[in-house]
Amino acid sequence: MGSLMSDKSEMKDLLKRLEKGGVPMTDAIKEAMMTIEVDYFTDFETADFFADRPITFLKNEKGAVKTISAPHMIVTLLYHLELQKGNEVILIGCKSGYIAALIALIVGEEGNVKVLDPSQSVTQHAAARLTYWPNVEVRHIESLQVSPIAFPGELNRVLITGQIKQLPEWVNSRISESGFVIAPLGRSAGQKLMKLECQNGELLPTDLGHVSFGPVDISDAEVGPINPNELADILELAIETFREMEMITEQEQQSIADLIVDLRDLPDDLPPPGESGTAIEEHPMIRLLYLASPSFIRLWPLLQLMIQPDLASPGGYDTDSDNHFKSDDFGI
């Protein structure tokens, strides 16, 4: 386990690259990042963090992995939280405790952070690392959809650090006037980072860009083969993204849309490729991909980036090159 204080030279260089890459940040965020050592929150290698990539902090026996987000995404989340001294922040999804520690330092002793997570192993990990932060409380919750016991009051600032399709009702109904929630909303294949601010009793959305977070609950991240519906989700996100970037033709869009329909028509109990007793190339999902491949082969490199979005690292060591994505293209 590392020390509490950060390696100032590596972090200073990283923050400079992030600023050069267009990632907005405040002096308070810089100070917190310079002060707190990410190595303290994981027992895994942290070198990739300083290349602006996510790093692992926990693996379970079924192969599920939980990560600390890439620095550009952490800074982006902190920036849009608009943190001030004395704020109370609800953090849903531990992220190892690192983000909670950063927030706690920024809001100060007069503020506090309540961390909620549905995974016992994750909350145990975070609680053990956050013993030096008296203004942080870590709680294991039964479910994202169930309001925590003895958790009254309105919510002013809520940050959800994992993929969800929609806000839990107990969160949605308790955002205070002028309060807000930041969450990656969408399918597992990719989401939009949304800031939903309460004005006159209504949550008004601001789109902060495409991201790809893993699920809040580590059990939902257990390794398994992709199924037709998951692949269809990825392709739907691809169409939307490529359309926004003006990179897809009408013919390509229609062909991929037809493929999505065909994938969703496959049986729900279809065995994964390689487990059906037939050759992989004869699997119905693989056959559909093969037949439709001329429609998306030109877009395949970008599709791979959507499947592995951690390749987008505006604070990476190659930011002097023109060949990198903006921070709001992808995140994790």
Range 224-234 burial, b when 16+ CB lie within 10 A, else e: eeebbeebbbb
For the record, the structure tokens of 22 come out as 């267009």
Take residue 48 and report the two structure tokens written for it: 């990739």
Q: Is the pTM of this model over 0.75?
A: no
pLDDT digits (tens), the chain, 332 positions: 555 555 589 999 999 999 999 999 999 999 999 999 999 999 999 999 999 999 999 987 777 788 999 999 999 999 999 999 999 999 999 999 999 999 999 999 999 999 999 999 999 999 999 999 999 999 999 999 999 988 889 999 999 999 998 999 999 999 999 999 999 998 776 789 999 999 999 999 999 988 888 888 876 654 556 778 878 888 888 888 888 888 899 988 998 899 999 999 998 778 877 665 667 778 888 888 888 888 777 887 776 666 554 334 567 665 444 333 333 333 44
What are the backbone angles phi and psi of residue 289, rounded to the nearest 5°? -65, -45
**How far apart, in Å, are the Cα atoms of 119 and each of 161, 212, 332?**
14, 20, 19
